Structure 1
Amino acid sequence: MKLIFVVMALLGTCESYSQKLIHGKITGIAQNKYEYLRVSDRQQSQLEKVNAEGEFNFYSKGSIFYLLEKNVKIDSFIVKNEKFIVVNIRNYTNQLDNIIVSNHLQNQRNIWANPVAITAVSAKQVENTISSNLIDGLVKNTPGLNAVKTGPNISKPFIRGLGYNRVLTLFDGIRQEGQQWGDEHGIELDPYNIGNTEVIKGPASMIYGSDAEAGVVSLRSLQPQVIDGKIHGQWISEYQNNNGLYGNGVSIYKRNVHWYWLGARSYRIAKNYQNKIDGSVYNTGFKELNLSFKTSYQSKYGFSNLNFTLYNDLQGIPDGSRDSLTRKFTKQIYESDEDNIKDRPIVSNRELNSYRLSPLHQHIQHYRIYSDNEYSLKNGAKVSGLVAFQQNIRREYNHPTMLEQAGMYVKLNTLNFTGKYQFSPMGKFTNTIGVNGMYQSNRNENATDFPIPDYKLGDVGIYAFSNFESGKWTISGGVRLDQRWIGSKDFYIGTNDVTGFEYAIRNNQDTMGANLQFPALHLQYSGMSASLGVTYEVNENIHLKGNIAKGYRAPNITEIASNGLDPGAHIYYIGNRNFVPEFNIQEDVGVSLNYSDLNANFSVFNNHISHYISLMQLTDANGNPVQLVPGNWTYQYQQSAARLYGLESNFQYLPKYLNGIVVESSIAIVYGNNTSAKYKNAGINGEYLAYIPPIKWVSGIEKVFQLKSQHLNKLKLKLEYEFNGKQSRYFGLYDTETATPGYSLLNAILGCTIQLREKQTIDVNVFADNILDKAFQSNLSRLKYFEYYNSSPNGHYGIYGMGRNVGVKVGVHF
């Protein structure tokens, strides 16, 4: 059940009050629904709860106001006196997706009126979702969003079958730049410092530029809610028994009328996860630390924010090596030139069950400092700007004889900038122009493996967007032009006579006898993106939507210039600098139903991509895989054409005759084909794209028990069934992928909220995922393909997913 109902924005009917305590009462809905309501001011800076009688108190620095959403009809808005108001609501549902105000296209807009397919996930949903990492939590709440996984803590978001540099991740409006081309490179964000999230499904290049070809995952940090000049905050703690995950996150803030500050810290640690086929999966543990601080000034004209974040992660690197007879995991103790994977020693039980990481691991650090500003002008226009600097440092240690020597060691510096001007309303039109871009510098440090060269990159795009609303129609559209350049110098590699390791030759060192691994490159890319969408309100309960968008993506550095081993991925990449940009055109058609007891959405999409870039395993003349580095696969990038199409549907039903019952269900289907003539009718031998999720159906039923206790007034129990179909449409060329059987999982959660004082609550959720301890493999798990033998004594190949996982998550709000 969605737990937050934000009531925001009808103004013009209520006078402005300055620094006064406003009392109010909500009428017209069932008493047990009041807990979903929140009251907000114009800046949406404070969210106050409504008590069990529908009453609220609000310390206002401006005006109380409400949003006339399509599903929230206000019969009356009565100002009793300057300090008391009464609001009567009819046709109410408690669906978060109906009332979140979207930031997409840089305008605050009702999701129901937005032609673009968007799913909103609230901060409360994130907090109440149990998962191994942030992206997995969003996947649980968003049909059409999947993740390619490399163990419990590494999940790369995929939207409608596309991922990597085709999905743009934003944090507080900033592009997340962290070498996201890597297979095992996750998202560097604090899972306990996430507020509302939006997943935009479909090309969003028109606003965000390259890399938003498939969509956007836009995450916002936690925002202070109470304005009383006192200390408030939250503490979240969780434990998961499968891999012994301990997590703690605390945030505290203080806010008055104009200023606030917020500090947050979190720490998570886990050992190897387990299942009944593999036992404990070696080197899948992690240790993660996050720190952040923000301060802000707000006035009636706008705001200015200054933020800083730090992310530090030590992450195991599994390779799946085993003993051929016992199937027990083994570990590397020699360098690659002397290492025989089939003769490695077996990992001890003590190591398998320890929180201590293997010496062969990743160390990822990510820092951000940024300022976000927005102000209203006297003519009714708005101007906003964002500038950010972020640094991503990635070390991958893969030398067992020299533990302090990193195999890959890259440092990426990125300067992001965004500017936007929203004109004052022109009748029924709202017009916006904007610019955004980035400048990057990437450098290989003291390393021995060099999958990509040092490079510098510049990127800039300008756009114009317009929104028209008249009666039952909402029409929006825009156009954007992008320019990107990327350059690098000759990059030579030498060999250390003592260690035998390779090293980068720099500072005018003698290149005699050295290997020119990366010749200099100077490339430019340009592209145009566009979008046009329409929403028609059939009546207050039914909305029809249609959208067509053209997306653009410039090839990333590894696709054009790679020529080396990524030790964490165990892949030697080979790029092609003759690539041209990808372009796609996607059509979306959908319908939304919104009644007091039923909320439903249905959409279909069709996506054509030209110059589609994908990986192909390199083989010799006999079709045998080539291993340029022993024990590692070799893949080369290629370009072709592709088509992806499918549908998504979800509904939530609250039977009026069964008080406290909520029935939810969602389904997502996507197909992906390589449409080049070479692979026509080739089936698994090249026609089907890799990493396409199978059909996924999730259905759940929840019962809320109302209790007559002063402190414990409700208890909820939810049972969930998750079905993942078999994937027989896979990229089987050169055994890159194999068929994946379908599987079903049964999950449950028991939760309650304890009310201590007016603004002090404790949320407790006890959960069990995969209750029946089902042994399964997902075709989106890279670990499925970590196998070195053609036969297995137990009939199982690769690594299986997480077994039964039982735990508890507690959130204390004060």
Structure 2
Amino acid sequence: MKHTLTLLLALLLSGSNQWALAQSTGSIRGQVLAEGKPLELATVVLSGSGMGTATDAQGRYELQQVSAGSQELVISSIGFQSQRQRLTVVAGQTHALNAQLTPTPAALQEVVVTGVSRATELRKSPVPIAVLSRREVHLNGSNNVIDAAVKGVPGLSAVTTGPNISKPFIRGLGYNRVLTLYNGLRQEGQQWGDEHGIEIDQYDIDRIEVVKGPASLIYGSDAVAGVINMLPRLPNGPAGELHGDALTEYQTNNNLIGTSLGLHYNRNGWQYAARGSYRLAQAYRNALEGRVYGTAFRELNLTAMAGLEKTWGSTQLYTTLYDNLQEIPDGSRDSLSRRFTRQIFDGELDDIKQRPIVADADLATYRINPLHQHIQHYRLLSRTRLKLGTGELHALLGAQQNIRREYNHPTAPAQAGLAVALNTYNYDLRYAAPAWQGIETTLGLNGMYQTNTNRNATDFPIPDYSLFDVGGYLYLKKTFGKLDLSGGLRYDTRVLRWADFYVGENPATGFPQQVGAGSGLAPQFPAFRGTYRGLSASIGATYNLSDRLLLRANVARGYRAPNITEVGSNGLDPGAHIVYLGNRSFGPEFSLQQDLGLSAYLPDAELSASIFNNSIDNYIYQARLNGPDGQPVVLVPGNATYQYQQGRARLYGAEATVNLHPRALPSLLFSNSLAYVTGLNREAQLLEANGSAAKYLPLIPPLRTRSEVRLTREHPWGRLLHPYVRAVLDYNAPQNRFYAVDNTETRTAGYALLGLGAGTGLASGPEKREWLQFFLQLDNALNTTYQSHLNRLKYFEYYAASPTGRRGIYNQGRNLSLKITMVF
């Protein structure tokens, strides 16, 4: 009897609850169409809640138990423009709401996470953002991930020191003005150095996002020119199954061998991934010089990830290891034969003209020669996203250690010339508040703490130092019909300091060494404390002239605190063969950039054009140091001496792309791009002293165009999936606008490079699942002899003239690259 009464009471309460629920909720049903036909699997979501559904084969949907009152539905589907509709739900009633979606090019639906406060559609960003997929990276043969990005993004270039060292430049600005990220974590690896590359595994990158323009508002200092975000692959595929890929690569020019194995697994929201990659290469070659001594390398990368994805949000933990042995080229040669020679003595005993010629066996080898760099980079990264109602809290915490050794003593190969350890701790907190009155608000706080320590070395270009960065920002975004407005403010503070740093002679070896304060010597780096503050701001707009025509405009003030070498350097960087001298009086750089762009997404083409103008106050640049007699100062024999200067500069230019994909011939893609930038000195004193030689800024890339014709079969051809053939013509105009003071730079001739490629996927089983991918690429097919204007090896020359009339080292010659990826 007791149990019967309990059951009756439960039924009564259940019925009462159901009745109450029915009295406070209603339902919505309808049909979603596209071009007059039912659209299956379109998503219908009740905004601000977790309630949603998908349409059936007839395009119909139904949402039940929708709370009474004003509601907003978001209807979306891949390849179609999303639609928002509002209605008032009356309790106990069923409401009809139909939708007609308009087809939209995929580029308009692309979602980006870089350069904006939260993930947003690419078309809503007022600043130019380029996206490069993993497949596009694979299509291009490249020696490192920056080179791959340069080939796919107009306006992006790179300063190179051999095939495995590339430093990104955006619209003529680089070094600490470009912020490189790994999954949102800023890359800190002594990036001030000319010969310091990016410590990231290119085989692990799934997507590259490039912001072309000041992004200081979101990221603070070092993003004054833009941001490159390398996003790794996330676990995907059926739950409860282990999947992965195995990649192998071979390049004929330097006999590069690359291998990579990646595994991933997910189940019940848990995610796991791991990857190991190894690459090794001999010295590269060209038609003029044969193999270039000092350009071989070996590189090991290990990556592991664990994460959890639930309704409350997600959290992910990444750890990476990078280990690279990289030879150091110096360009010394026999004066007549122009064959490369090797250094065998230190100091005064080293006679350039008496160096022995490098044997052929030492050029075509995977052995790393005694003069080399050893770079180790360790990274620990935590990313967490918490849903707080309709808002979200994002937290990023990271720890990095970069250990860099440069061995430049042939008589003591185990003694490092440069040995520095950089420890960096990063934090980034961001709260995306619920929309209020249609305004999306984001509050953020980020920065880092950094310490640098010199270890057992003989050259000390920078002191031991500590750095603390903190910055907070407010970002707002609102849509007014066809107009999207966004902007915000940020304030940064950086504190840089170091104690007295003394250098004396090691009596046992004769080399310099770090000594204590009681040595009686004057400090090489007297104690210093500097505080830098800056205000960043941005305001931009995107106006939808139509569904396919967009107009973008943005004005931004960027901020960059001077880096350690610009303020504190006072010594030789052996890998760069340069003695750097800093300036303690420097203030922060501030830039004011205006961007204007127009994009058209037509049925048969995608067109875009943009122009920019960038004025920089307190612009920091290198200038060769001259004595009272007007001759270059030589502090260390065989090495140039440069002192940092500060002035004003202006950069302006344009970019354009024309991508044709006619519907009448869907297999054809004809893409074209153009990028142009001019950098002008605006420092009156420098111009007055040097005239036209100082008119232009250093390291400005020339006009560049790139055209590609690609034919891809859309439908399977037997077991072949998406087979393609392509031809690429990459043209770089002569660079006649260069920084000519003290012959810092010289004119660079123009050149055109032809590339040819082909590839396909292989399918298996009745469902034709792709399990193998082939990418074949022939770069510099005509074996053109050329020098890039941003190739540092162009200036590695010991003689005033050469018997061939050609000076410096030339770029890589013909190269055939084969990549094979097995997916399982």
The normalised TM-score by structure 1 is: 0.89
SS in 2 for 1:726: coil
**Alpha-carbon distance in structure 1 between the residues aligned to 2:661 and 2:307:** 40
Equivalence for 2:473: 463
What amino acid is aligned across from residue 744 of structure 2 in structure 1? T
SS in 2 for 1:466: strand
1:253 matched to 2:260? no
SS in 2 for 1:136: helix
Equivalence for 1:719: 727
Equivalence for 1:436: 446
What amino acid is aligned across from residue 215 of structure 2 in structure 1? A
Question: Equivalences for 1:385-404 in 2 at 5 Å?
Answer: 385-404=395-414
SS in 2 for 1:192: helix
The one of 779, 782, 805 equivalent to 2:792 is 782
Question: Equivalences for 1:315-714 in 2 at 5 Å?
Answer: 315-378=326-389, 380-506=390-516, 510-512=518-520, 514-680=521-687, 684-705=692-713, 709-714=717-722
1:41 Cα deviation (Å)?
A: 12
SS in 2 for 1:517: coil
CA contact (8 A) 2:79 2:106 kept: no
1:790 Cα deviation (Å)?
A: 1.2
Q: What is the CA deviation profile of residues 675-719 of structure 1, one whole-angstrom value per residue up to 9, with x for unaligned ones?
A: 111344866511100000000000111112356644214321110
**Alpha-carbon distance in structure 1 between the residues aligned to 2:165 and 2:28:** 49
CA contact (8 A) 1:115 1:533 kept: yes
The one of 767, 772, 776 equivalent to 1:766 is 776
Counterparts in 2 of 1:350 and 1:40: CA distance versus 1, 3 Å = farther
Which of structure 1's runs of 4+ aligned residues deviate more than 3 A?
A: 12-15, 25-30, 37-42, 64-76, 86-95, 100-103, 679-684, 705-710, 757-760
CA contact (8 A) 1:71 1:594 kept: no
Question: Equivalences for 1:124-135 in 2 at 5 Å?
Answer: 124-135=135-146
**Alpha-carbon distance in structure 2 between the residues aligned to 1:102 and 1:377:** 20
CA contact (8 A) 1:370 1:389 kept: yes
Of 170-179 and 66-75, more deviation after overlay is shown by: 66-75
Counterparts in 2 of 1:28 and 1:253: CA distance versus 1, 3 Å = farther
**Alpha-carbon distance in structure 2 between the residues aligned to 1:708 and 1:517:** 68
CA contact (8 A) 1:172 1:221 kept: yes
**Alpha-carbon distance in structure 1 between the residues aligned to 2:338 and 2:314:** 59
CA contact (8 A) 1:494 1:515 kept: no
Give the count of matched residue pairs: 756
What amino acid is aligned across from residue 100 of structure 1 in structure 2? V
**Alpha-carbon distance in structure 2 between the residues aligned to 1:679 and 1:499:** 43
SS in 2 for 1:734: helix
**Alpha-carbon distance in structure 2 between the residues aligned to 1:257 and 1:586:** 47
What amino acid is aligned across from residue 550 of structure 1 in structure 2? R
Q: What is the CA deviation profile of residues 601-634 of structure 1, one whole-angstrom value per residue up to 9, with x for unaligned ones?
A: 1100000000000000012233322221111110
1:515 Cα deviation (Å)?
A: 4.2
CA contact (8 A) 1:91 1:596 kept: no
Equivalence for 1:156: 167
1:761 Cα deviation (Å)?
A: 2.3
The one of 195, 218, 222 equivalent to 1:211 is 222
CA contact (8 A) 1:748 1:768 kept: yes
**Alpha-carbon distance in structure 2 between the residues aligned to 1:319 and 1:728:** 26
CA contact (8 A) 1:70 1:540 kept: no
The one of 222, 231, 252 equivalent to 2:233 is 222
Q: Give 5+ residue unaligned stretches, structure 1.
A: 1-11, 16-24, 43-52, 56-63, 77-85
Equivalence for 1:136: 147
Q: What is the CA deviation profile of residues 106-150 of structure 1, one whole-angstrom value per residue up to 9, with x for unaligned ones?
A: 211111111011101122222333211100000011000000000
Counterparts in 2 of 1:260 and 1:38: CA distance versus 1, 3 Å = farther
The one of 789, 802, 805 equivalent to 2:812 is 802
CA contact (8 A) 1:227 1:257 kept: no
Q: What is the CA deviation profile of residues 738-778 of structure 1, one whole-angstrom value per residue up to 9, with x for unaligned ones?
A: 00010001001101111124554211011100000000001
CA contact (8 A) 1:623 1:734 kept: no
SS in 1 for 2:348: coil
What amino acid is aligned across from residue 687 of structure 1 in structure 2? K
Of 232-241 and 775-784, more deviation after overlay is shown by: 232-241
**Alpha-carbon distance in structure 1 between the residues aligned to 2:764 and 2:576:** 49
CA contact (8 A) 2:133 2:207 kept: yes
SS in 2 for 1:124: helix
Q: What is the CA deviation profile of residues 412-464 of structure 1, one whole-angstrom value per residue up to 9, with x for unaligned ones?
A: 00000011111111121100101000000100000000000000110000000
1:196 Cα deviation (Å)?
A: 1.6
What amino acid is aligned across from residue 783 of structure 1 in structure 2? L
What amino acid is aligned across from residue 808 of structure 2 in structure 1? G
1:101 Cα deviation (Å)?
A: 3.2
CA contact (8 A) 1:69 1:99 kept: no
SS in 2 for 1:576: coil
RMSD between aligned alpha carbons? Answer: 2.7
Counterparts in 2 of 1:806 and 1:87: CA distance versus 1, 3 Å = farther
**Alpha-carbon distance in structure 1 between the residues aligned to 2:76 and 2:641:** 55
Equivalence for 1:297: 308
The one of 88, 107, 111 equivalent to 1:100 is 111
SS in 2 for 1:720: strand
Equivalence for 2:203: 192
Of 613-622 and 240-249, more deviation after overlay is shown by: 613-622
Equivalence for 1:267: 278
Q: What is the CA deviation profile of residues 232-258 of structure 1, one whole-angstrom value per residue up to 9, with x for unaligned ones?
A: 111221111000011111110110131
The normalised TM-score by structure 2 is: 0.88
SS in 2 for 1:516: coil
Q: What is the CA deviation profile of residues 176-196 of structure 1, one whole-angstrom value per residue up to 9, with x for unaligned ones?
A: 000000000000000001122
Task: Provide the identity percentage.
Answer: 44
CA contact (8 A) 2:293 2:363 kept: yes
CA contact (8 A) 1:679 1:685 kept: no
The one of 120, 130, 145 equivalent to 1:109 is 120
**Alpha-carbon distance in structure 2 between the residues aligned to 1:515 and 1:595:** 68
CA contact (8 A) 1:92 1:596 kept: no
**Alpha-carbon distance in structure 1 between the residues aligned to 2:302 and 2:45:** 29
1:597 Cα deviation (Å)?
A: 1.7
Counterparts in 2 of 1:114 and 1:346: CA distance versus 1, 3 Å = same
1:102 Cα deviation (Å)?
A: 3.5
SS in 1 for 2:347: coil
The one of 696, 708, 730 equivalent to 2:738 is 730
Counterparts in 2 of 1:75 and 1:566: CA distance versus 1, 3 Å = closer
Counterparts in 2 of 1:515 and 1:593: CA distance versus 1, 3 Å = same
SS in 2 for 1:748: strand
**Alpha-carbon distance in structure 1 between the residues aligned to 2:373 and 2:246:** 28
What amino acid is aligned across from residue 363 of structure 1 in structure 2? H
**Alpha-carbon distance in structure 2 between the residues aligned to 1:66 and 1:775:** 55
The one of 752, 773, 776 equivalent to 1:744 is 752
**Alpha-carbon distance in structure 2 between the residues aligned to 1:795 and 1:662:** 42
Q: Give 5+ residue unaligned stretches, structure 2.
A: 1-25, 47-56, 60-72, 86-97
**Alpha-carbon distance in structure 1 between the residues aligned to 2:271 and 2:687:** 60
CA contact (8 A) 2:468 2:495 kept: yes
1:295 Cα deviation (Å)?
A: 0.2
CA contact (8 A) 2:130 2:153 kept: yes
**Alpha-carbon distance in structure 1 between the residues aligned to 2:427 and 2:42:** 34
Counterparts in 2 of 1:697 and 1:26: CA distance versus 1, 3 Å = farther
